[in-house]
């Protein structure tokens, strides 16, 4: 039942913001896995985990940042 609800949410997201931005949700799975493991299972958190999270956050920023459209001048002859 939970998976069905997740698929419904994902496909709504897919139709509203597009496939590229929708797939960025999957980038967040590893950082959240590490975070939940550290919080609930007392797993050790190393600097490699932190660096990986920062790298993923940077990649998400690059994908999700708004793009500025360049306007070209058309010169009439």
Reported as a single tens digit per residue, the pLDDT across 20-66 is 888 888 888 899 999 999 999 999 999 999 999 999 999 989 888 87
Q: For residues 32 and 36, give the distance between their C-alpha atoms in angstroms, rounded to a whole number.
A: 6
Return the pLDDT at 76: 65
Report the chain's C-alpha Rg in angstroms.
19
Q: Given a cut of 70, is residue 1 above it in pLDDT?
A: no
Return the pLDDT at 44: 93
**How far is CA 56 from its chain centroid?**
8
Question: Which residue did the predictor score with more confidence, 76 or 6?
Answer: 6
**Crossing angle (nearest 10°) for helices 29-40 and 47-64:** 140
Q: What is the pTM of this model?
A: 0.66
Which residue bears the tokens 């306007």?
A: 71
Q: For residues 34 and 40, give the distance between their C-alpha atoms in angstroms, rounded to a whole number.
A: 10
Q: Given a cut of 80, is residue 73 above it in pLDDT?
A: no
């Amino acid at each position: 039942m939970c998976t069905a609800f997740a698929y419904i949410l994902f496909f709504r997201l897919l139709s509203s913001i597009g496939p590229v931005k929708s797939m960025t949700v999957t980038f967040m799975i590893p950082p959240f896995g590490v975070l939940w493991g550290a919080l609930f299972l007392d797993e050790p958190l190393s600097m490699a985990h932190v660096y990986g999270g920062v790298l993923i956050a940077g990649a998400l920023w690059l994908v999700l940042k708004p793009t500025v459209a360049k306007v070209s001048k058309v010169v009439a002859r």
